[in-house]
Structure 1
C-alpha cells in the first residue's frame, strides 16, 4: 500500500502493462488525453477526457491504458478527507472543468506546498461530500418513468448487486423504495394542489391505469386518493 503525507498535484501517463495496487490516500484523476481502463471490486470504468474519477483510500484497483495518454492527478492525504468517502465518477461539468483548470496551473507551477493548492484541495474534498451521484440525479428527473436497477448501476459503473447496497448506505432506502417515495410525494402534491382527475394523476405519476394507482396509494397511505384529497383540501404538501 502506498502512503502519502502531503498533497501532490502533477501530470502522469500510464502504460499498457496491467498493474494493481492500493494506497492510503484519496486520488482524483482528470484525463487530459487518451483513456485509462480501471477496475475495482465494484466498478469497471473507461476513464476518458469528458469525465473525472475520485478513488478513495484503500481501494485496490487494476489499471492500464491502451493509447497515448496524459492525466492530471491530485493525490489527497487522508487528513484532508472526510471519513468514508466513496468513489465518484462524474461528468466534467463547468465546476469540475474550472477545478481542473486551477489544478493544472498549480501542477505547472510545481508548488505542491503552496497555500493556493492547499485551499483548492480543501474545496475539492468539500465538493466530494456534497456531490450528487449521476444515478440519484437521474432518479429525481425520471422517477415518473420505469427505471431498471441495471440502468442505475451502469450510470455509476457498479455491479447491480453492489449498487443496491451502495444506494442504501447513501440514502437509507433501497432504489425501489426511494423511487416509490418520490412518486408518492408527487402524487400527494397533485391531489392537494391540482384539480386533476385521479386518472390523470395516475398517468402523470407513471401508472398505466387509475386502478393500479389507487391500489398502490391505499397500500401506502391506508386510504384511497379521493379520501386523501378531501381530508387535505386547501393544504400544501411540503
Structure 2
C-alpha cells in the first residue's frame, strides 16, 4: 500500500500558514506531505522511519521533515510519545533574507547527507523544552504581534536544530529506496516551485537532463503516483486556496491554478476532493 499523501493542514490557507499541536501518539502510519514538519519529543520512546531509514525517538529528539519525505513512527509498548508538532509552508521562513543564510538550502533538502533528526541532551535538552514551550504558548495565545513572535521563535527552533546538528554525528544510513530515485528530490522541489506553470515530463527532462521515461519511473518508485497526478494534486491545493480566499469565478480559478482546460480541472477536482469546486466553496462559506 502506498503511503498516505497529506497536502492540507489547519491554517494552510491563511496569511500565516503555520499550525502547531501537542499530542500523544502510539502509532502513525506511513505518509508524506508537501509542507514542512518540525517536531520535538517531550516524553516516551519509539522508532521512526524516514524514507526507509529508522532512528530512535526519545525525549529531546527533533525531526525536520522536508516536503514529500515519507515517514512513519511507532511508540514502544506502554511508552506513548508526547510530541510538539509544527506544520508550515517553507515560504514562511524563506521569503526574507534568511534564504541567503543557508535556511533555504536546508529546507529544500539539496544536501543528500543532511540528517533529518538530532538528539538533544543535558543543557541543550532543557533549552529545547523551554523554547518549544514558549512557541506553543505563543501559538495558543491571542496577543498582539503573534505572527511576528511565532516566526521569530520558529526561526530560533530551526537555528537550534542546525547548531546541534553540527555538534553531533547523526548521519543516517542510506535510504532503502532504489538507487534510481536518488536524483528525484531536486525535480520534486522544482515541481513544487513551478506547478502553476506549464509542466510535463518532457519539460522536466530538458531541465534536469533525465530521460522522460526514467523520470516517470522515478516518480512511481519514490511516490507510488504518476507524475501528472502528482502535479494535479498540487494544483488542486492551490485552487482550494483561491476558492475560499477570493471571489474569482470558478472558471478563472481553474486557469489561475495551472489548468489549461476547465473540464480537466473540474474532473480532477472532483476526483481528489470528492465534491465539485462550487460545492467546496459553499462548504467553506463562499457562495460565488
Q: TM-score range by the shorter chain?
A: 0.3 to 0.5
- TM-score normalised by the chain length of structure 2: 0.34
Task: Please give the TM-score of this superposition, normalised by the length of structure 1.
Answer: 0.40
